[in-house]
Chains A and B, each alone.
Chain A
């Protein structure tokens, strides 16, 4: 049993909560890892390591979160692991083109081809952004995280995160217009 002031939580209860966390956010962590490292094999490694680290530090994170969602904490772990991955292997992420599929709603063939070209260009231009700007966009658009969640995951203030996202979108638009 773990004494947390007025509340005592059993190890079994902690494990149940971790399992819920794992089930709820496996896709988020995997998606983030995939867009950071650019291939499924390494994304699996990063995801696996992220959840193992999370399991080791879950009790403390839960205690210090004061009831706030733990997704930003999980993504921060994946963020650090992905950064280590690039640092260790001196790689830049590969554009995740195999993840981009034609929209599911009906389109004419030309529109689909044109749409895919635009998506390809977006992915390509994303790679020209700085790491923090690209990460913020991945968190916002692939994971649907709020400004506050992104701020917690990146260890920034809410205001700084809002500016970061604004500048990332602005730069991306400029990069798109440059071609």
Chain B
């Protein structure tokens, strides 16, 4: 393969495999999914807390029974984090002219 033909093929590949702009609604779709995860985790944590009886509280004093609460706390932590991400994105998302300007800047900015 000559250098010239390789350069030509690479130029063709660059042209054929252009970056694809994601659709506008994808961003909100990902946010919605994150929100759903956080709500589900928070609901699970809440229902678990309501279900705990006196006997179960006694049982929880035994470290061998700590797996479920620890898992719930981990889920809650993940949920809290995702909420922060979602809220930050909502707070920062520009609208109108600024959104258009940022979109244009994104499209011309080299990676």
Contacts and interface: CB of A to CB of B under 8 A. Distances in A.
A73 interface: no
Interface residues of B, number: 35
A11 B82 CA distance: 10
A141 B85 contact: no
Contact of B85 (A15, A40, A99, A176): A15
B22 A26 contact: yes
A122 B88 contact: no
Nearest to B22: A30
A47 B15 CA distance: 23
Interface of B: 1, 5-6, 9-10, 12-23, 26-27, 29-30, 33-34, 37, 77-78, 80-82, 84-85, 88-89, 106, 111
A19 interface: yes
A27 B19 CA distance: 7
B20 A99 contact: yes
Given A44-B26, A115-B15, A169-B10, 20 more contacts: A14-B81, A15-B81, A16-B88, A26-B22, A26-B27, A27-B106, A30-B22, A30-B26, A44-B22, A47-B30, A48-B30, A52-B33, A140-B13, A141-B13, A141-B17, A143-B19, A169-B9, A169-B13, A173-B6, A176-B9
Given A26-B22, A27-B21, A55 B82 contact: yes
Interface of A: 11-12, 14-16, 18-19, 22, 26-28, 30-31, 34-35, 40, 43-44, 47-48, 51-52, 55-56, 96, 99-101, 103, 115, 118-119, 122-123, 126, 137-138, 140-144, 169-170, 172-173, 176
Contacts of B15: 100, 103, 115, 119
The B interface is mostly helix, strand or loop, or mixed, namely: helix
Given A19-B89, A28-B19, A143-B19, A11 B81 contact: yes
